[in-house]
Structure 1
Amino acid sequence: METKIKLIMKKVLHKADSRGFANHSWLQANHSFSFAGYYNPEKIHFGALRVLNDDIIAPKMGFGTHPHDNMEIITIPLKGVLKHRDNMHQDWQQLLPEEVQVMSAGTGVQHSEINGSMEDHLSLFQIWVIPNKQNVTPRYDQKSFTLEDRKNKLQTLVTSIDEDFEGSLKIHQDAIISRIDLDEANAINYKLKSKNHGVYIMNIFGNVTIENETLETRDALGISETDSFSIHASTNSSLLFIEVPMI
Structure 2
Amino acid sequence: MNSQIALIQNIDALLPQTQCGLCGHRDGCLPYAKSIVNGEDANKCVPGGQPVADALATLLARPKLKAEESVWPIQSDGRPQRMKAVIREDECIGCTKCISACPVDAIIGSGKLMHSILTDLCTGCELCIPPCPVDCIDLVEDLKEVPTETLQIAEQNDLRQRYYSHIQREEKRRIHRKGPVVRAEIDTELFAQFSAQFSNIPEIKIIEKAKAGIVQQDAKTTIELAKIRTQIKKLEKQLSVRDDEKKRAQLDMLLQQLSALGA
TM bucket, shorter chain: under 0.3
Higher relative contact order structure (alpha carbons within 8 Å, sequence separation ≥ 6): 1
What TM-score do you get using the length of structure 2 for normalisation? 0.25
**Greater fraction of residues in strand:** 1
What TM-score do you get using the length of structure 1 for normalisation? 0.27
Q: Which has the larger radius of gyration?
A: 2
**Greater fraction of residues in helix:** 2
